[in-house]
Amino acid sequence: MGRTFLNNEGLRKLVRIREKVLDFFYPKFCLVCDKEGVYLCPECFSKIKTFPAPFCPYCQSRSFDGKVCKNCPPAGEAGRKSIYGFITATSYKEKDVRKLIDTFKYSFIKELANPLAFLIFKFLKENPEIEFFKNPLDFVILPIPLHSRRLRWRGFNQAEEIGKELVPLLKIPMKTNILFRRRYTEPQVELGIKERKENVKEAFKVSSLEKIKNKKIILLDDVATTLSTLEEAAKVLKKSGVKRVWALTVAKG
C-alpha cells in the first residue's frame, strides 16, 4: 500500500479525468464541419476521398499492387532505384486532407494521427492486392525520423505518431531505433524539386540492422511530394543490405 497506490489502473483513471477536464475547457470541434466533440467527425471522415487504386509514383500509371512499374525509373533519373513500391492513401491537394495534416503538424494536434492512420487503413482494405496484409510479420515499419531540433520544436514525430496508430491496425511491428538523421535539413516544403534532392542527400544513417534482418521495410511518412526523402532513406537501407523497401504515406503532395 502507500506508495504504490498509483498502479496502472489508477494512472489510466487520472489520464481520463485529465482528458475530461481538458475537453471541458478546450472543447474539440470537427475541423471540417465544426461539429463539437472530435477533431474529425465520422461523417467528414467517410467523405474524404482516397485514391481509387495505387499508382507508380514516377509515371502515375496504375499499379494494382503498388509496385513501381517496370518502365520506371526513367533512364537517367539516378537515385530512383531504391523504392520497390509506393502506397499513398489520398491527395494532399484535397482541401480537407491538407487541413488535417497541417493542423496535425503545425498546430501540434497529436490526436489527428488517429484519423490519418485510418485513412491509410481504409485505402489498404480497399486494395487487397497490396501485400502488407498477407504476411504482416514479414514487414517492419520504420517512420522517417526527425532531427532532434525539429522534434523539440514539434514535440512529436508525426510519422511515428501515425505509425503508433497503424501498428494495431496492420499487425505490423514498428521500430524507431534503426533509422536516424545524420544532420539537420531544411524543411522540404520550402524548396524546389531539384533542391529537395540535394537537401536530403546523406541525411540518414542506419544502425542495429541485424534486429530487422530479412524483414521487408515499410518507410512511413505523412506526405510525399517528390519522394526525395523516402528515396534517400531507402537508398541507405538498401546499401546496408535490406532487400525490399516500400514507401507508405497518408498523402501525395
Q: Which residues bind Zn ion (CB under 5 A)?
A: 30, 32-33, 35, 41, 44, 56, 58-59, 69, 72
Q: Could you tell me the smallest distance in angstroms from the CB atom of residue 120 to Zn ion?
A: 20
Q: At its nearest, how many Å lie between Zn ion and the CB of residue 30?
A: 3
74 alpha carbon, distance to own chain's centre? 26
Name which of 65 and 198 has its Cβ closer to Zn ion.
65
Nearest distance in Å: CB 57, Zn ion: 8
Instruction: Work out how close the CB of 49 gets to Zn ion at its nearest, in angstroms, rounded to a whole number.
Output: 15
Q: In the beta sheet, which residues pair with residue 249?
A: 88, 221
Residue 91 or 176 with smaller CB distance to Zn ion: 91
Cβ closest to Zn ion, residue 17 vs residue 33: 33
- What DSSP line would sit under 182-246, residue for residue? SS----GGGS-HHHHHHHHTT-EEE--GGGGTTPEEEEEEEEESS-HHHHHHHHHHHHTT-S-EE
Q: How many residues in total does the chain contain?
A: 253
Taking residue 109's Cβ as centre, other Cβ atoms within 10 Å add up to 14
Residue 58 burial by Cβ neighbours in a 10 Å radius (0-12, 13-18, 19+): middle
Cβ-based neighbour number of residue 89 at 10 Å: 26
Of 68 and 233, nearer to Zn ion (C-beta) is 68
Q: 96 is written with which cell numbers? A: 480537407
What is the dihedral angle through the alpha carbons of 158, 162, 165, 168, rounded to the nearest 10 degrees? -130
Q: How far is the CB of 37 from Zn ion (least distance, A)?
A: 9
> Among residues 30 and 169, whose Cβ is nearest to Zn ion?
30
Task: Give the nearer residue to Zn ion in terms of CB position, either 44 or 223.
Answer: 44
Smallest distance from the beta carbon of 70 to Zn ion, in angstroms? Answer: 8
